[in-house]
Chains A and B, each alone.
Chain A
Amino acid sequence: DTGVSQDPRHKITKRGQNVTFRCDPISEHNRLYWYRQTLGQGPEFLTYFQNEAQLEKSRLLSDRFSAERPKGSFSTLEIQRTEQGDSAMYLCAVGTGGDTIYFGEGSWLTVV
């Protein structure tokens, strides 16, 4: 158990539709991250929250992507007007008091 719950685990959507993923850390973590992983590649950093503040966003996070962490606990990642290139696994991760990062099981997105 990684202590990070992600929902939904799998999502198939039509191109042009909006999708939202949710990340729920089991315990309080002030640092929360979103990564994206495509087949045959390692995860790539998307964005980072310190409590409720979004402190950094990758160039990968286009205008169609938005992430929130309204109360410093759970987080959502929304993709608007999905494209086939958005098909990937979206990983939520949390940072402990040290420097290690623990990932959730991921949310698979398939855009058809």
Chain B
Amino acid sequence: QKEVEQDPGPLSVPEGAIVSLNCTYSNSAFQYFMWYRQYSRKGPELLMYTYSSGNKEDGRFTAQVDKSSKYISLFIRDSQPSDSATYLCAMSPILTGGGNKLTFGTGTQLKVEL
């Protein structure tokens, strides 16, 4: 079993829809949670970053972390065709003086259609 599970999709939604993307994880040590967006043949772009449990909002994006359920979500409101990409969740434990080694999900491919 992988430490981080993410449905690969593809997920297809109409423009303007609310999109919900999710990841589950098994490692209780994870404390930092990130969402990256990746366009085809490009590097991952950091979208959202949260520490521990709770919600964080940035424009049309909301990240939620439920550590009791080991479940994280990314919501995209008023989705646009330009949101079509692969969305990767990533997480890491508390820094212990070393590097912030991220464990990624497989990514969910999202397509927003006109």
Contact = CB atoms under 8 A, between A and B. Distances in A.
B85 to A, nearest CB: 14
A91 to B, nearest CB: 6
Interface residues of A, number: 28
B104 A44 contact: yes
Interface residues of B, number: 28
A33 B92 CA distance: 14
A95 B99 contact: yes
Given A42-B105, A42-B106, A44-B104, A103 B99 contact: no
A100 B34 contact: yes
Contacts of B65: none
B100 A95 contact: yes
Interface stretch (B12-20, B41-49, B53-61, B66-74): B41-49
